[in-house]
Amino acid sequence: MLTNGKNNVPFGPAFLLSVGLGQRAIEVEPEQSFFTQGDPADSVFCLKDGRAKATVVSASGKQATIGLLLPGDFFGEEALAAEPGLRTAAVTAVNTCIALKIGRDEMTRVMHREPALADQFLSFLLARNLRTQADLVDQILNNSEKRLARTLLMMAESETQDEPRTFLPPITQETLAEMVGTTRSRVSFFMNRFRNLGLIDYKDRIRVHRPRLKAALVGQLAEV
């Protein structure tokens, strides 16, 4: 976890307050967008609570999920480009989200004034770039069962880490199918398989047995 070396504040919403960055909190309901592809890129966001997804739509109307956003993640950083243009992707809430919204001018001003913020933001972008590369490898090389397992683990990642079994925020199988890049019927099949293997429980909400699912994923789940 990235931290402010001066006072060990985790990089994220609390860190932004510690360096005096002006911001306002906004709440976005499930399936509502923070912004859509093609909107003016005039602000940066930091997710405080909830899960969100970044998606792109082709000229022919085909949609693809290109990333999952977790609490503490920044998004919309294209607003900080030398010549800000339009949003290249949409970001939509998976469940109820609270995020901090920071104007482009305010973020730029404080980054120049506070080197710690600039350093941590750069470190965050580099770490996220590595995660994006891993997502791309996952999408290209792994089957849909492995992609679903990895998505469930990522969604459980930022919860209480000393609990081996973690409840996920409410999420539908349709949303999981879109994020994984498969059909709802395949997600349902794999979820039943994971449950039978003791990797997850689910009724009203999904509960992930993190150590078991991680071990199964490393052990190379076989698509059936």
Of 205, 208, 152, which is closest to residue 180 (Cα–Cα)?
A: 152
pLDDT at 20 over 80: no
CB 148 within 8 A of CB 187: yes
pLDDT at 28 over 90: yes
CB 64 within 8 A of CB 54: no
CA distance 100 to 11: 13
CA distance 95 to 44: 20
Residues 6+ apart with CB under 8 A from 20: 110, 114
CATH code, 207: 1.10.10.10
The residue out of 81, 108, 139 marking a domain boundary is: 139
Domain-located, residue 211 = yes
Q: What is the pTM of this model?
A: 0.77
Mean per-residue pLDDT over the chain, rounded: 85
pLDDT at 7 over 70: no
Domain-located, residue 187 = yes
| Domain extent at residue 184 | 142-218
**What does the block give as tokens for 136?**
């791309």
- The pLDDT assigned to 224 comes to 39
CATH code, 93: 2.60.120.10
Q: Tell me which of 11 and 96 has the higher pLDDT.
A: 96
pLDDT one-digit tens code per residue, 137-190: 877 778 899 999 989 988 887 544 556 678 888 888 988 898 888 999 999 999
CB 53 within 8 A of CB 36: no
- The pLDDT assigned to 117 comes to 85
